[in-house]
Structure 1
Amino acid sequence: MFLKHYACCSDELLIEQLNSNLDYQFFCDISLGYERLTNYKIVSQIRCELASKLSIGQLEKHLYNQWRDYIDHPDQVVVDATCYESELRYPTIQKLLWEAVDWLYRQLKRTCSALGVRMIRSKYLKWKRRYQGFSKMRRKTQKKRIPLTRALLGLLKKLIDFEQSLREHHNITFNLAYYRRVATIKKVYAQQYAHFKTGAKIKDRIVSIAKDYVRPIVRGKEIKPVEFGAKVNKLQIDGISFIEHLSFNAFNEGKRLQSTIYKAQSLTHRKTKIIGADAIYATNKNRRYVTHHNIKTDFKRKGKRPKNYKDENKLKALITKERATRLEGSFGKEKQHYHLNRVKAKTKATEILWIFFGIHTANALEIGRRMSQAQQIAA
């Protein structure tokens, strides 16, 4: 997994690199000689195995203990949140409904063929042509969207009822993935039908039938107002990043300042003296907490300026610079160079593992550079 994020390549290309690169083989403690790995799925199998046993908190404590000699100022912390987006097409109501219709229709057709039962008449091909024509339009007006949405809802309801009647009248069983996907499709229908009829906001909206755990996360950015993926509240100690909280549901990172301080202190076994965070963390509750524990921050001061305002302002500027350069810079570095720009894992557990290895691969290389510099100085 380290080599995958270090090389920033696909599973297939990683195996090809491992077959031809002696350095990669030496790193993995193997020697292939004239033999070659041909099973490209082995990387996915390893990822699934590791994902089932991942414990982020315990692993990060172990990593910090190994790296602590190369981490200066363990009592100084910066924190911010970002979203690591999933590999997902931009979801619209029509796309989501058509994906559900298309998948369920194909499954039912295959099931009917195996049982020798006549497939329900659904005019699937007619609505397929209608949807393809709609998707090619440059301007998808309300006049075009409403009738297509109504038709897709009706077609999906018809297929759901037929699938349920098939299972009730025939003694057939499917794998767990099938039942999960059907349950997701039913939930999608219920959400979109209620939204179509009432226009009410959808709570816990499903945006993909393949990744039913992904939720829209409103970030308020100019280019990307909404992102789809895992939101991570990340703390950094001397340029080394750790995951404080990871969730596929939106959360207010401003409420997680205290838990960030607890996390930092559990890693370092030192009292946190300085913490840098942006304005969303500067709530009254957090201000009272850091004041009570005598923790310096870069929060904008309320009320009258104190006598030592200039010295305090210089310290705040240094804290803000550290957060804005090293922490926010690490977000872009991980996304561009360590395979976190679009997370291509297929399940929730493997997606969390993917993010974990992307962040800590960047950490490991930074620690490696510091070790090299320390050895050069000692020599």
Structure 2
Amino acid sequence: MPLTKLSPENRWVIMAELIPWEEFEEEYAKQFKIEKGAPAKPFKMALGALIIKEQLGISDRETVEQIKENPYLQYFIGLEAYTFEPPFEASMMVHFRQRINVDLVKRINEEMVKRGRERIEQKSEKKGVEEEETGERKNKGKLILDATCAPGDIKYPTDLEILNQGRKATEQIIDTLYKSIKGKLKKKPRTYRNIARIEYLRIVKNRRSTKKERREAIRKQLKYIEKNLVSIEKLILEGATLNSLNKRQRNLLEAVKKVHEQQLQMWEKETKSVPERIVSITQPHIRPIVRGKAGKPTEFGAKLSVSYVDNYIFLDRISWENFNESGDLQEQIEKFKQTYGCYPFSVHADRIYRSKANKDWCKQRGIRLSGIGLGRPPKNISQEERKQTRIDEAFRNRIEGKFGQAKRKFSLDLVKTKLKETSETAIAMTFLVVNLCQLLRQILLLLFSFSFISKTFELDEQIMIMKTYFINLFTAVKVIDLEVNYWLLAA
């Protein structure tokens, strides 16, 4: 069934024209070898499927079902004819996220916005004023900078719960290793799993357990994990190999070893912090990000540094470790200059960005850094400065609105992917789809404006025709009335 009778005003048809598929097809294809394996899915299908998932806010399986049922979605991912069969399995979505990494998504986002803005300017017939190329261009435009956190899909971590998960993981690993050499050993290593579970439940079910009781429970779980790790080493010496474990179990074993080391260190020093602290056995890359927000002082996920220019938002840095976002200001401004050919006229950011080094750096380049700097506020502030500060803060709130859109409508508020690289791709895809929706909104607004203007012209033309008709009619009636009056007078 050919896809030839689709509406050109449909959102998926318009969005398909906004994305630069062909520019990144070759780079994506370099990951595959022609002589090995089955033919790979094209880049348009891979990226299109990820965009559909993020745009509709559905799961991987539901994404495949929606594509199978909707001809517009099939057109969007590059199919030439409608098919009733799914174009790929739901498990391929994981491979798509692994092949399209975060750096590639960021470059696609930047190129898409560049193309979309050029198309909108052509449609609106706005010609920019050409500047004289005498040296460097003057500072122009406004740049907003901020940071946020993308929480991962994990249970709220506690030391006792993490150790319990690690203990259960080591018990499963012992079972698998023993099964691979069952004929060589007479007796399976003892794990005390039932006793360990009872001791764990005794504390978690008690709503009023004391600090001393929790500390003792943690000590016992540490002993159980230590004994299990020793048993795993003995099984390996007896002939068991790590190849008998699947990839997930091998990753869990490495995570449990590090968790045991960190928790033992915190227990001995009676502290609650340790460098690179693991808060999830299944997702060891996730870190606690202290934000100090009301209701959420600490979030568990990735920290993002982003920039906002002309209603479009860009991901500049993503890290699973906490960092000071003020250190990214100079790099983000230099990126702005590389993209637009000049420094911004003003930079709007939180107070944490207004360090002395950043203020001096901006001043040397003629950039106005909004707001009052760090330290004690000055006593004598003019009314104009207060007004400008309020205006700058109101303008800076635009990036908070973009964060709200990305977290309420899309998946930035809870990243459900499990792997580090797939989570980074999913986060970058959120910002790409946010910008795609902004481009779509502006194009639809232009189409509506042109339709309204054309209809207005048609209405004006009809009004002129009717006006001419009534004028002619009135003139004819007036002539007839004069002739009747003349006939009556003559009679």
Normalised to the residue count of structure 2, the TM-score between the two structures is 0.72
Q: Indicate the residue corresponding to 1:22 in structure 2.
A: 71
* Identical columns (%): 24
Counterpart residue type for residue 323 of structure 2: F
Select 1:150's aligned residue among 219, 223, 243. 219
Question: Which runs of no fewer than 5 residues in structure 1 stay unpaired?
Answer: none
Q: What is the 5 A alignment of 1:12-51? A: 12-30=61-79, 31-36=81-86, 39-51=89-101
1:187-218: CA deviations, max 9, x gaps?
11111111111124311111112111111111
Q: Structure 1 pair 139/32, CA: closer, same or farther in 2 (3 Å)?
A: farther
Q: Indicate the residue corresponding to 1:181 in structure 2.
A: 252
> Which stretch of the first structure deviates more once superposed, 282-291 or 83-92?
282-291
Shift of 1:312: 4.2
Name the larger-Rg structure: 2
Q: Indicate the residue corresponding to 1:215 in structure 2.
A: 287
In the alignment, structure 1 residue 232 sits paired with structure 2 residue 304: yes
Q: Indicate the residue corresponding to 2:51 in structure 1.
A: 2
Question: Which runs of no fewer than 5 residues in structure 2 stay unpaired?
Answer: 1-49, 122-127, 129-138, 452-491
> 1:241 touches 1:363 (CA, 8 Å); kept in 2?
yes
1:256-307: CA deviations, max 9, x gaps?
211221122223223211110111111111111122222123221664758x
Q: Indicate the residue corresponding to 1:341 in structure 2.
A: 413
Shift of 1:162: 1.0
In the alignment, structure 1 residue 168 sits paired with structure 2 residue 237: yes
Whole-angstrom distance in 2 between the partners of 1:209 and 1:266: 41
Q: Indicate the residue corresponding to 1:206 in structure 2.
A: 278
Q: Indicate the residue corresponding to 1:317 in structure 2.
A: 390
> 1:64 touches 1:267 (CA, 8 Å); kept in 2?
no
Whole-angstrom distance in 2 between the partners of 1:133 and 1:199: 22
What SS does the aligned partner of 2:173 have?
Answer: helix
Select 2:359's aligned residue among 283, 287, 291. 287
> 2:141 touches 2:344 (CA, 8 Å); kept in 1?
yes
What SS does the aligned partner of 1:55 have?
Answer: helix
Whole-angstrom distance in 2 between the partners of 1:38 and 1:274: 48
Q: Aligned-pair RMSD on alpha carbons?
A: 2.3
Counterpart residue type for residue 234 of structure 1: V
Select 1:67's aligned residue among 96, 108, 116. 116
Q: What is the 5 A alignment of 1:290-301? A: 290-300=362-372
What SS does the aligned partner of 2:156 have?
Answer: coil
Select 1:351's aligned residue among 401, 405, 423. 423
Shift of 1:33: 2.9
Q: Structure 1 pair 287/34, CA: closer, same or farther in 2 (3 Å)?
A: closer
Counterpart residue type for residue 353 of structure 1: T
Q: Indicate the residue corresponding to 2:172 in structure 1.
A: 106
> 1:79 touches 1:276 (CA, 8 Å); kept in 2?
yes
Greater relative contact order, per chain length (Cα 8 Å cut-off, separation 6+): 1
Counterpart residue type for residue 227 of structure 2: K
